[in-house]
Amino acid sequence: MPKHEETLIRSVRISKALDTLLRKDAKTKRITVNALISSIMAKYAEWDRYIERFGVISIKRDAFRSILGMIEDDKIIDVSKQIGTQVPKQFILFWFKKTTLETYLEYMSLVCRYSEFAQYEVDTDGTNYTMTLIHDLDEKWSLFLKNWIEQGMKTTVGIIPLFDVSKNSVIVRFHIA
């Protein structure tokens, strides 16, 4: 969603219980109720209305970490490459209707923000890019992310990046001529 888009006022009827909940959550987050509702609406517009069509499930992080811990590294590599070859391109074409470096990076931002794959940041000087992903799911998730990103970038935008991988981070570097 554009950052400096013209806004409008919309009146919505909600229950008293929902209003109480929104006020409580806004206070906890130290934001206004309006800002909270705007963030909820943005999440719907950017993520929920698309993702519900793809059959996504939610799972507790500890349970997911336990499942990953039981899988052998070669199996994680195989499945991450398979998923990386198919899923990013499907999502990007569905959301953005074209595969470019810009749409790939926006896809990564959305996946990290809303699916909480990792904390995500991109730095660039226009030709050199550094994508940083920080997470708390240990080595096996770093292994998954590395191979998923490698295949996703290769398949969607034809880039083969370089990686620095550690227990809780994946650093991705690439150059665009």
Helix (H) or strand (E) holding 120: strand 119-124
Q: Hey, which residues does 163 pair with through a beta bridge? A: 172
Task: Please report which confidence band the pLDDT of residue 24 belongs to, taking 50, 70 and 90 as the band edges.
Answer: very high
Encode burial over 30-64: b for 16+ CB neighbours within 10 A, e otherwise.
eeeeeebbeeeeeeeebbeebbeeeeeeeeeeeee
Where do the structural domains in the chain lie, given as residue ranges?
16-53, 60-175
How confident is the prediction for the chain on average, in pLDDT? 94
pLDDT digits (tens, 9 = 90+) for 112-132: 999 999 999 999 999 999 999
Q: What is the pTM of this model?
A: 0.85
| From 5-19, 73-87, 106-120, 145-159, the region with the lowest mean pLDDT | 5-19
Closest CA to 83 of 147, 165, 168: 147
Predicted confidence (pLDDT) at residue 1 exceeds the cutoff of 70: no
What confidence tier does 3 reach under pLDDT thresholds 50, 70, 90? Answer: low
Tokens of 93: 């074409």
Task: Tell me how far apart the alpha carbons of residues 73 and 70 are, in angstroms, rounded to a whole number.
Answer: 9
Beta sheet of 119-124, edge-to-edge order = 119-124, 128-134, 169-175, 162-166
